[in-house]
Amino acid sequence: MDTRRVLRTTGTVIAAAGLLLSGCTSGSPDVASASAEPSAVPAGLRPYYEQKLSWRDCGVQGFQCSTMKAPLDYANPGSGQDVDIAVARRSATGPGKKLGSLVVNPGGPGGSGIGYLQAYAGIGYPAPVRARYDMVSFDPRGVSRSSPVECLTGPAMDRFTQVDQTPDDQEERAKLVAAFKEFAAACEQRSARILPHVSTVDAARDMDLLRAVLGDEKLNYVGASYGTFLGATYAELFPGRVGRLVLDGAMDPSRPALELNRDQTAGFDTAFRSFAKDCAKQPDCPLGQGTPEAQGQRLKDFFRKLDAQPVPSGDPARPLGESLATTGVIAALYDESAWPHLRQALTDAMNGDGAGLLSLADSYYEREADGKYANLMFANAAVNCLDQPPAFSGPQAVDAALPSFEKASPVFGAGLAWASLNCTYWPVKATGTAGPLKARGAAPIVVVGTTRDPATPYKWAQALAGQLDSGTLLTYDGDGHTAYGRGSDCIDSAINRYLLEGQAPPAGKRC
């Protein structure tokens, strides 16, 4: 499991109970190839910008769906090689003057925007916002309903998720490398056409097409987690088309993959310490009532026992070993509301029943009861490995970085360091690089950071707000991943005022 990239909001994760996986991604877009104003749309793209969407009933009450065409390769539009972009909306409920469309993205990369809209944003965003905006989302190219990336079969993915990611000897190292190579080769075999064209820059250009075909002069947008990088990339490419942008649980696009992975490792350590302190106050804490350091050592010792001897999980083909258990724990750290579930799952696993932690891991990976996987992990790797060069050149580079990862997190460091090897064997060379995004000339952009966010550390939000010429930082002093719509009246009021009235929070506002 590579936490470097599956950055999703808690709404899409813990609702099902799962989360992250292949890491956060960042990279500097090729600004020169994108025009800043609608009037400057290149001739080859005009047919795409002028297309009309045909809306139909989604089969989910209150929602309509459509399909938008986008060029497979923006450098060669009109070649007959297009991708289908699935779109969904829920019309503004009223009362009040309509403000156009509000496009939302749940993160990932690889998270389904349509699934997020229908399950959460379209019905759970604050009522005043839903009253005046058409709530809109899309599955980015390569994701779910939009020309999806396909890689491993269900049984092969089951095996992949169980591979030991804390190798103890050369044989285990070779098995881990072979697993990453098998994953990459399967993606190339089944998805060669789409793989070179699923970068965040491509998705941002698709988002500008969507803005145009929706009839909006400016893009109004709420992006969570990885969705903040998508939103910031859009602002860099199209600063003159920025409306009201909220970037919640922000990423730092200036940091290369190795630093991002290490930062995120430290973020999960911070989240674990918060969980451990709370756990110690509970009579049923499976890690005892000691310090977070002592509790972390107990958890690490338990992972080692599972490495040597997995426990039954209810699925004979998938006993709970170290890799699945680690994924299950990390999934629950995304949201403090999952802490009771995690306590019970750990208690059960320590008593020989791994079903609870396996369920958390399955929700993180979006594995269905029938053994089929959504394409989250496939799209996640495809986007991440295109957006930046790999964190490591090979196993020896991981060895050199292990001490710094283990310092960042004694519990999770080794596993997350080895998981960062996933892009090393990717069949398509990265097209992006790390670099700051400034979006010069854009309207005010609100960047939201949570002080103890496990997946997107607070310093990333500070960095992004500082990079953006018009960025304003809104701080939530709390736990969990992202802040909007998670129970803070202070955060929600500030963002609602911005979305409805265009008034950004004052600099330095803290909730």
Active site members = 225, 453, 481
Within 10 A of 289 (CB to CB), how many other CB atoms are there?
12
Q: Let me know if 418 is exposed, middle or buried by CB neighbors in 10 A (0-12, 13-18, 19+).
A: buried
Q: Would you state the structure tokens that stand for residue 29, as one six-digit string?
A: 């877009």
DSSP class per residue in 2-69? -TBT-EE-HHHHTTTT----B--------GGGS-SSGGG--GGGHHHHT-----EE-SSTT-EEEEEE
Which residues have C-beta within 8 Å of that of residue 499, sequence separation ≥ 6? Answer: 99, 102, 129, 133, 220, 222, 244, 246
CA 6, 7, 8, 14 torsion: positive or negative?
positive
- Say how many residues make up the chain: 511
Pairing of strands 82-90, 134-138: antiparallel
Q: Let me know if 469 is exposed, middle or buried by CB neighbors in 10 A (0-12, 13-18, 19+).
A: middle
Which residues have C-beta within 8 Å of that of residue 41, sequence separation ≥ 6? Answer: 35, 49
Which residues have C-beta within 8 Å of that of residue 16, sequence separation ≥ 6? Answer: 363, 366
Helices (H), 333-434: 339-350, 355-365, 376-387, 395-408, 413-419
User: What are the start-end ranges of the E strands in 188-290?
Assistant: 219-224, 242-248
Q: Would you state the structure tokens that stand for residue 232, as one six-digit string?
A: 């910031």
Within 10 A of 82 (CB to CB), how many other CB atoms are there?
16
Q: Would you state the structure tokens that stand for residue 385, as one six-digit string?
A: 């490995």
Which residues have C-beta within 8 Å of that of residue 274, sequence separation ≥ 6? Answer: 336, 452, 479
For 411-448, give the secondary structure using H, E and C. Answer: CCHHHHHHHCCHHHHCCCCCCCCCCCCCCCCCCCEEEE
Bridge partners (DSSP) of residue 135 are 90, 102
Q: Let me know if 402 is exposed, middle or buried by CB neighbors in 10 A (0-12, 13-18, 19+).
A: middle
